[in-house]
């Protein structure tokens, strides 16, 4: 009887451990998306106003822009950066053409909606 209780306890523990990770949604970045990971800074007035002085891309696929706006980012097959942000309950999608230079330490973003170009350097 004692052996049965030990086996049942082990099974319960293993099931709990196995199910504890089921609520997490893993986002694996592709190579192109991983180039963005890090903190990017700008001193351009228009970039500071539109996107923020500091833009942070995280390895979990999220991005933080000015005023604490947080969203998700991805790079589609056409090599456009897509940023999804929810503002006041409204989901928005922003499309950027991008270019890395200076060994990946400079990022230029062309906002396709406005045609504005923003330049950031890796911190």
Architecture of domain 27-122: Beta Barrel (2.40)
For residue 116, count other CB atoms closer than 10 A to its CB: 15
| Number of Cα atoms under 13 Å in the Cβ half of residue 71 | 22
**Rounded to whole angstroms, how far apart are CA atoms 17 and 119?**
45
- The predicted pLDDT at position 14 comes to 41
Residue ranges per domain, the chain? 27-122
Task: Give the pLDDT of the chain (123 residues) as one tens digit per residue.
Answer: 555 544 555 444 444 444 444 444 556 888 899 999 999 999 999 999 999 999 999 999 999 998 788 999 999 867 899 999 988 889 999 999 999 999 999 999 999 999 999 999 999
| Residue 41 phi, psi dihedral angles, 5° rounding | -120, 150
**Rounded to whole angstroms, how far apart are CA atoms 123 and 120?**
9
**Rounded to whole angstroms, how far apart are CA atoms 100 and 22?**
36
For 38, the 3-state DSSP assignment is strand
pTM to 2 decimal places:
0.75
């Amino acid at each position: 009887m004692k052996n049965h209780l030990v086996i049942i306890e082990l099974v319960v523990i293993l099931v709990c451990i196995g199910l504890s990770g089921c609520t997490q949604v893993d986002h694996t970045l592709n190579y192109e998306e991983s180039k963005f990971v890090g903190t990017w800074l700008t001193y351009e007035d228009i970039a500071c106003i539109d996107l923020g002085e500091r833009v942070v891309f995280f390895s979990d696929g999220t991005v933080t822009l000015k005023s604490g706006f947080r969203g998700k980012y991805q790079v589609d097959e056409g090599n456009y950066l897509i940023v999804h942000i929810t503002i006041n309950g409204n989901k928005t999608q922003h499309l950027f053409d991008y270019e890395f230079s200076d060994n990946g330490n400079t990022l230029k973003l062309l906002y396709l909606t406005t045609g504005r170009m923003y330049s950031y350097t890796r911190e």
